[in-house]
Structure 1
Amino acid sequence: MMRINIFDIINSKNALLHDDGLSIFHKVEKLYDNYNHPIELDFSGINRLSTLFLNASFGKLLAKYGTEITRHNFHPINYSQITSFMDKFNDMWDNFENKENYQAYRELDFA
């Protein structure tokens, strides 16, 4: 299994920015498209994480490859030091899988 280290790519202990998430997406996309092997995304050294970052990285992987390929091939690891990682990750995943409902909620808020 291949592994990329988030810290090494974004050069920060905070995975917060949309652009950083896009950098991760593009790195993973390139590796997966070239080698077609599962990839571990290593969060060692990362202390903070935003849903913005997750949407730009894992959310885009979900959009491009779908839930099954993403679930079986892109694995976050070493994230126990990040408070509520799984809550944010699951929220991001749920928003993707229920995007029609999510969009409807957003439209109600702006009505």
Structure 2
Amino acid sequence: MQKYLYERFAGRMMAVCLRYAQTTFEAEDVLQEGFLTVFKNLASFRRECPLEFWIRRIMVNAALRQHRRNAPWWPSATGASTQRIWPARSLRFPITISRRC
């Protein structure tokens, strides 16, 4: 089942990951992390929407988590705490996903 899902959706999900990642290697990491999440949570899929939409949402969330992890930390102006400074070119091709499911 997992092999079938991976073979069926990996190409389209790699395209999604490439939109969010800075490099191909980062996109491959996001794809792997996303599919691990898909396989772990497959039993919780509620069939309210097509499976591809559900997998795509997981991939987008995995890409955003990866992006947040890679964002640099800088001291704040007050020096009391730290804050994330987002790069000017944080997402190459951000896409909007409707919340149909």
- Normalised to the residue count of structure 1, the TM-score between the two structures is 0.28
Greater fraction strand: 1
- Normalised to the residue count of structure 2, the TM-score between the two structures is 0.31
Greater fraction helix: 1
Larger radius of gyration between Structure 1 and Structure 2: 2
